[in-house]
Amino acid sequence: MGATNGLDLNLVSVFAKVVELGSFTDAGRALGLPKSSVSRAVTRLEEALGVRLLQRTSRKLGLTQAGDRYLGEVRGPIARIAEASGEVSDLGQEPRGLVRISIPPEIGDGHISAILVDFVRRHPRIQVDVVVASRRVNLVEEGIDLAIRAGKLDDSTLIARRVAVSEKALFAAPAYLAQRGRPKRLSDLTQHDCVLHRTATGFLPWRLTGPRGIEQVTVTGPITVDDLGSVRHLCLGGLGIAMMPLPVVRHDVERGTLVRVLPGYVGRGAAVYVVSPPLLHVPTRVTLLREHLLRELAAKVAGTPCDAAADMAAAAG
């Protein structure tokens, strides 16, 4: 970025990135620099200004009073420079480069593929690297640009945009129903084997909304698992009836490998979000994929669609 009045603006940018990510290591990874270079850049900026900007301890970094004031003054101009630079570099060029996205197995198992295929066909010079993981991926540390997540968000530093709230329903394999018969009432589920999904809050009775309003039933089964993808596979294997989000099993129902049971009942599922790290400048390629996901997922996730344009920077999902 050059220099102004003898001050190298690159040093200012590195300082802002260190504060944004909370460590020299993460800032170096984001900027493509060694940790030692990032540390030297901040030291050089402090020497040029004649004040200490960061309070360094063995456990964490903190802003000094001078550092807090300085960051408040420079953050806006840095963001505007980055935005302007990105816009100018994109002018007259077809978007290109790599976008890394993390998705949970239950979403990555089939029905999001068409969304990504459509995106790559529209933007052939953008490469998409998909990381399928049931764990919560650290977007900053692992260099992930976007992630799809469902349920309560536990990281308030991420920028989250809610896509929709999914619906759950009851499903079983045809082989299981041929052997055990179809339940006709919700209470009949107590006489059936069910595949149980244990969440972070434990296993709770199934609550569904049907012809008589909200009802609940306590079910039992031979296996309890904490992974929704495993629930699906066990249900496909004929182990019992399972309650799952509609998007997870849509292709199974279309293929006839799963059948909906008690179709008059639905349960409220989790909110689905597209999340991203808090960056000063978001590359055009990332913005394009994010907006594509918001638009297409809203159409595919059954349930009550939400305003995808409403940004959320909170974790109270």
Residue range 138-178, pLDDT digits in tens? 887 788 899 988 777 776 678 888 887 778 899 999 999 99
- 3-class DSSP state of 1: coil
Chain-wide mean pLDDT for the chain? Answer: 81
Residue range 177-227, pLDDT digits in tens? 999 999 999 999 999 999 998 876 667 789 999 999 999 999 999 999 988
Is residue 274 predicted with pLDDT exceeding 80? yes
Q: Measure Cα distances from 128 to 125, 131, 132, 289 in Å.
A: 10, 10, 13, 9
Contact 16, 71 (CB under 8 A): yes
pLDDT score, position 239: 95
Q: Which domains does the chain have, with CATH numbers?
A: 3-90 (1.10.10.10), 97-157+270-298+306-312 (3.40.190.10), 166-268 (3.40.190.290)
pLDDT score, position 316: 31
Contact 182, 237 (CB under 8 A): no
